Amino acid sequence: MKVSDWLSKHPTHAGVVQEDWSLEQIMQKLLSNSRLNDLYVQDEKHRVVGHLSYKKLAKLVLAEHCAAHTRSQILERVAAGSAAELMEVHFASATADEELGEIIFRQLDHWVEDLPVIDQDGKLLGVINLSDVLLAVMKSGN
């Protein structure tokens, strides 16, 4: 099955934030929907330019409640900037013309719940939600 066909049959809300959003705005978006685990950062032209994981955001928010042991943990405590400053610029994605079976292992290798499907201009077409894929596989018996 093509990724484009999957998106047609299984539309999933993508978590999107803007580059200039604060950590507070990002967390409000993340916590507004219990199914969101991955957020994607868009620039002013609506191109996907970065990824923010639930785990990274939780570490940032909870850092002040944990003892700091490493240099990176200390730096995370002071890194409360914008989405553009917090995002990962290298992230896994898929295109609409790929086969679903080809991209699932990419999703698992990068351990993202929502794999973005991006067009040639960098715009978000949708996401492949890992839980939805698992549910479909379990229902089909494969």
**Average pLDDT for runs of 10 along the chain of length 142:** 94 92 93 90 97 89 68 55 92 95 90 93 94 89 66
Residue 70 to residues 54, 63, 64, 66, 111: CA-CA distances in angstroms?
21, 12, 14, 12, 24
How many Å apart are CA 108 and CA 36, to the nearest integer? 17
Angle at 110 between CA 120 and CA 100, to 5 degrees: 55
Q: What is the pLDDT of residue 73?
A: 56
Q: What is the pLDDT of residue 119?
A: 97
Q: What is the pLDDT of residue 76?
A: 54
Q: What is the pLDDT of residue 63?
A: 72
Q: What is the pLDDT of residue 75?
A: 55
Q: Which amino acid is at 24?
A: E
Residue 61 to residues 36, 71, 77, 89, 131: CA-CA distances in angstroms?
16, 17, 8, 20, 25
Full-prediction pTM beyond 0.75? Answer: yes
Q: What is the DSSP letter of 94?
A: B
Q: How many alpha carbons fall within 13 Å on the CB side of residue 61?
A: 15
Residue with tokens 């086969």: 99
Q: Greatest CA separation found in the chain?
A: 48
Cross-strand bridge partners of residue 94: 117
Q: What is the pLDDT of residue 124?
A: 96
Residue 130 to residues 21, 45, 98, 121, 135: CA-CA distances in angstroms?
26, 27, 16, 24, 9
How many Å apart are CA 142 and CA 138, to the nearest integer? 7
